[in-house]
Amino acid sequence: MAVSGLSGLKKYLSLMGFKEEINRRRTFGIVSHPDAGKTTLTEKLLLFGGAIRVAGAVKSNKIKKGATSDFMEIERQRGISVATSVMGFEYRDYKVNILDTPGHQDFQEDTFRTLTAVDSVIIVIDAAKGVEPQTEKLMNVCRMRKTPVMVFINKLDRPSRDTFSLLDEIEEQLKIKTRPLSWPINSGADFKGVYNIYKKSLNLFDADVQEIQPAIKFADVNDPQLETHIGNDADELREELELVEGVYPEFDREAYLAGDLAPVFFGSALYNFGVQELLDAFVEIAPSPKPSVTEEREIKPAEEGFTGFVFKIHANIDPNHRSRIAFVKICSGRFERNAVYKHIRTGKNMRISSPTAFMAAQKEVIDEAFPGDIIGVPDNGNLIIGDTITSGEEIHFKGLPSFSPEMFRYIENADPMKSKQLNKGIDQLMEEGVAQLFTSQFNGRKIIGTVGQLQFEVIQYRLEHEYNAKCRFETLPMHKACWIECDDPKLLTEFKKRKHQKMATDKRGRDVFMADSGFILQMAQDEFKDIKFHFTSEF
Ligand code: GDP
């Protein structure tokens, strides 16, 4: 009896510890239009987490407009870019996991997939430029998934746009309500600092001082002490804050967690100003790991059974070894090294003997990990993006959509002696999600679909350098690839027969209609009203 009591207690304590581990996790992505300051902010957050000691340690994975040479440079640093894809660190009592996303729009599919593995997002906006095209696209993905977003308005040390108009623009263009939790006092050369509405304190900005200055606390904004610090700007600040309180309802955490409201912070990532306030508020209000949707049922993080899914694959990290790393997001249960798990797609058992955690710039082998964590699983080609791994239950995670590409080309072998290498290379690069592959049902030719020109260059480069194969592309003037679906098999057959020349198969064997132009697509939609045309592969 006593023994069972003791083991019961142990079990209870272990369960409590497990729940605590989940609750203290914050897994998020930082997104921005290129150049708004994502890399700079990431680096400053890592400094707070003690994950790096000096500025400049985080390598930008940025690719300038269309420059293949930049990409090749990045390829050389592939080891680094793997390490910086996920950066975990401890801050206060929290375990923070930052998932990096490529800034270049040609790699937006990679970003979209990464966003399926986060519980919240911080959007960085340049205070002079406001909402930019890429910000809008990324926000659309967050909205689709109801991901909670927080906004950091950056570069206040430079002349910036009027604060109210910036907030209006965010509300209009990003279609989300905002609630400022801090407020800037001027900008550019007159930038005095940021008033923290959330904590009722003032942080003074001084471009010459590198260290972070302690915040000055006030009972309320009417405190005459405010004048001693910011002089005549105090009155204007009071007026603006009054307006803020009048215009914006109280911060509502539930609305934020539901993805309906974005709390907004201001600062200058370059000067590490306003970043700690952002981080402090972030760990307090951002969500811990959320339930995940599978085709079968909802999975809660605190469930005992282990579940996780692959959202990213990095191949050929070391050109001398055909090494791949699969990034697995843990959705439920405690992950244990060497435990036997099931790879659902193949039905095979797998034992993960050297899983790695990503702690800032280094990888280390770990024995256990918790929901919200990302682990790196060394793999030699068994895992593909979207795969589910569990402690036995047959479930399939949802939410890794493929979007219709915008550019299409036939891919041809340019070296007949190397066709085996070419096919292998194409297969592996597609598994990594570099682009999408379709096979024409009409002539059997392989078609590569991408979002941007750069992806074709990357494919060509990597085929040559990693697989010793040569390819040639042939332009295919195509408008969109649509996944088609219909309840009536006869009608579907009829459609496929009529459009035979334009039908292709995706990598999962599904039917895709390749429309030459928007007009032709519209005609097809009008003619076949009972056929559904999907622009993402998940429906
Ligand atoms: P990303 O493309 O969003 O990752 O942007 P980066 O972090 O690489 O920043 C782009 C450029 O803006 C770099 O030259 C940064 O030094 C600069 N930058 C970033 N944050 C600030 C800031 O707060 N103030 C100023 N003046 N420049 C900044």
Closest ligand 1 atom, residue 124 Cα: 3
Residue nearest to atom 16 of ligand 1 (CA): 270
Type of residue at 368: E
Rounded to whole angstroms, how far apart are CA atoms 461 and 453? 13
Cα(293)–Cα(299) distance, rounded to whole angstroms?
Answer: 6
Which atom, in ligand 1's list, is nearest to the CA of 33?
Answer: 3
Please list, in sequence order, all residues whose beta carbon lies within 8 angstroms of the beta carbon of residue 143, skipping any fewer than 6 positions away: 175, 176, 259
**Closest residue CA from atom 28 of ligand 1:** 270
Residue minimizing CA distance to atom 19 of ligand 1: 37
Q: Which domain holds residue 442?
A: 407-534
Same domain for 419 and 507? yes
Burial 419-450 (b: 16+ CB within 10 A, else e): eebbeebbebbbbbbbbbbbbbbeeeebbbbb
Is residue 103 predicted with pLDDT exceeding 90?
Answer: no
Residue with the larger pLDDT of the pair 5 and 416: 416
* CATH number of the domain encompassing residue 175: 3.40.50.300
Tokens of 400: 């890794």
How many other CB atoms are there within 10 angstroms of residue 350's CB atom? 16
The Å distance, Cα 100 to ligand 1 centre, comes to 16
What residues flank ligand 1, with Cβ below 6 Å? 32, 34-40, 60, 62, 103, 154-155, 157-158, 268-270
Q: Are residues 281 and 299 in the same domain?
A: no
> Band of the pLDDT at 6, cuts 50, 70, 90?
confident
Distance from Cα 270 to the centre of ligand 1, integer Å: 6
Does the pLDDT at position 67 exceed 90? no
Domain end marker among 286, 304, 319: 286
Test site for ligand 1: of 32, 40, 65, most ligand atoms within 8 A of the Cβ: 40
Question: What's the pLDDT at 73?
Answer: 53
In a domain, 44, yes or no: yes
Window from 234-238, 246-250, 321-325, 517-521 with minimum mean pLDDT: 321-325
Q: If DSSP codes are grouped into helix, strand and coil, which group holds residue 523?
A: helix
Hunting for tokens 């919200």 — which residue is that?
372
- 362: three-class secondary structure by DSSP: strand
* 479: Cβ contacts below 8 Å, ≥ 6 apart: 515, 516, 517, 518, 520, 521
Half-sphere exposure of 469 (CA within 13 A, CB side): 24
CA 195 to chain centre: 30
The reply, when asked if residue 530 is annotated as ligand binding, is no
- 271 CA closest ligand 1 atom index: 23
**What's the confidence (pLDDT) of residue 481?**
93
65 annotated among ligand-binding-site residues: no
Q: Is 34 labeled as ligand-binding?
A: yes
Distance CA 73, CA 165 (A): 40
Locate all alpha helices (DSSP H) within 2-77, ordered by sequence. 2-23, 38-48, 68-76
346 annotated to a ligand binding site:
no
Q: With respect to residue 1, please indicate whether it lies within any of the assigned structural domains.
A: no
Question: Any binding-site annotation on 119?
Answer: no
Among protein residues, the one whose CA lies closest to atom 11 of ligand 1? 35
More confident residue, 418 or 210: 418
Which ranges of 117-232 would DSSP assign to H, the alpha helix? 133-145, 163-173, 225-230
CB 117 within 8 A of CB 27: yes
Q: How far is residue 31's CA from residue 461's CA, in Å, rounded to a whole number?
A: 27
Q: How far is the CA of 154 from the centre of ligand 1 (A)?
A: 8
The pLDDT tens digits of the residues spanning 426-463 come to: 998 888 888 899 999 999 999 999 887 878 888 898 89
Is 437 found in the same domain as 386? no
Let me know: does 315 contact 299? Beta carbons within 8 Å: no
What share of the chain has pLDDT > 90, as a percent?
A: 60
Distance from residue 40's CA to the centre of ligand 1 (Å):
6
Angle formed at CA 282 by CA 281 and CA 283, multiple of 5 degrees: 95
Structural domains of the chain, count: 3
Question: What is the secondary structure of 292-351 as a DSSP string?
Answer: EEBSS-EE-TT-SS-EEEEEEEEE-SSTTTT-EEEEEEEEES-EETT-EEEETTTTEEEE
In a domain, 90, yes or no: no
Domain identity same for 145 and 262: yes
pLDDT in tens, 215-261: 888 878 888 888 888 988 999 999 999 999 999 989 999 999 999 99
Decide if 411 is inside a domain.
yes
Could you tell me if 42 and 165 lie in one domain? Answer: yes
What are 461-471's pLDDT values in tens digits? 889 988 999 99
How far away, in angstroms, is 229 Cα from ligand 1 center? 28
Q: How far is the CA of 178 from the centre of ligand 1 (A)?
A: 23
- Asked if 313 and 273 sit in the same domain, the reply is no
Q: By the 8 A CB rule, do 269 and 37 touch?
A: yes
Q: Which of 243, 260, 286 is the last residue of a domain?
A: 286
3-state SS string for 420-478: HHHHHHHHHHHHCCCCEEEEECCCCCEEEEECCHHHHHHHHHHHHHHHCCCEEEEECCC
How far from the centroid of its chain's Cα atoms is residue 183's Cα?
27
36 among annotated binding-site residues: yes
pLDDT of residue 432: 80
Which domain-ending residue is among 286, 303, 324?
286
Domain check: are 221 and 182 in the same one?
Answer: yes
> Does 381 lie in the same domain as 424?
no
* pLDDT for the residue 192: 93
Residues 112 and 243 in one domain: yes
Burial 295-306 (b: 16+ CB within 10 A, else e): eeeebebbbeeb
pLDDT for 76 beyond 80: no
Interface pTM, i.e. ipTM = 0.99
Distance 30 CA to ligand 1 centre (A): 14
Query: Do residues 337 and 366 make contact, with C-beta atoms less than 8 angstroms apart?
Result: yes
Q: Is residue 323 part of a domain?
A: yes
Do the domain assignments include residue 313? Answer: yes
Q: What is the CATH number of the domain that holds 482?
A: 3.30.70.3280
Q: Tokens 């350098």 belong to which residue? A: 465
Q: How far apart are CA 194 and CA 241, in angstroms?
A: 12
Answer yes or no: is 95 within a domain: no
The predicted structure's pLDDT at residue 78:
44
Both 116 and 186 in one domain: the answer is yes
Ligand 1 midpoint to CA 274 (Å): 15
- Indicate whether 265 and 355 sit together in one domain: no
Both 165 and 111 in one domain: the answer is yes
Question: Is residue 271, in this structure, part of any structural domain at all?
Answer: yes
